[in-house]
Amino acid sequence: MTPEEHIDHIVRDHADINELVAQLRAATERGDHATMKSLLMGLEMLEAKHYAREDALMRAVGYAQADAHRAEHAKMLDTLRSINATLVWENMRAISPQVVAHIEAAVAHMLHADEALNRAVSPGAAPPGD
Ligand SMILES: [Fe+2]
Ligand SMILES: [Fe+2]
């Protein structure tokens, strides 16, 4: 797969993550715990697949910031896995602040670390939102 093809997949993943995060934020705000649970499980699968994809791209292009970027992925996935592991016995109300913190971390990562990766791989890329 070429770096450009990786980027196409990554951009589509980001749209999927943003859509899921919007649904999760809404479910968290209205205290819909059943929906939160299923969205969080879906988000874990999506993030795991997506981070592996970005990892493959960083290896393919020899990205200089790969270690720091990978560490952010590992931390976010660890947090999400621990949220999901405790869902079976924790009160969702107690876990909601962690869910919100994870959403904020994931969105900030896409805006900063992923954008830096995108610019390194495609120097002519337009900034997000253009
Ligand atoms: Fe990403
Ligand atoms: Fe990333």
The domain that holds 43 is classified in CATH as 1.20.120.50
pLDDT of residue 3: 87
- How many domains are contained in the chain? 1
Domain with 62 in it = 3-121
Q: What is the pLDDT of residues 25-58, one digit of tens each?
A: 999 889 888 899 999 999 999 999 999 999 999 9
pTM for this entry = 0.86
Share of the chain above pLDDT 70, in %: 92
Residue 130 in domain? no
Q: Which residue has the tokens 């947090």?
A: 79
**65 CA to middle of ligand 1, Å?**
14
Q: Exposure of 93 by Cβ count < 10 A (0-12 exposed, 13-18 middle, 19+ buried)?
A: exposed
Residue 126 in domain? no
Contact in structure between 7 and 122 (CB atoms under 8 Å)? yes
70 pLDDT band, cuts 50/70/90, is very high
**pLDDT of residue 126 exceeding 70:** no
Ligand that comes closest to the CA of residue 11: 1
pLDDT of residue 123: 76
Q: Which residues surround ligand 1, an ion (CB under 5 A)?
A: 114
**95 CA to middle of ligand 1, Å?**
24
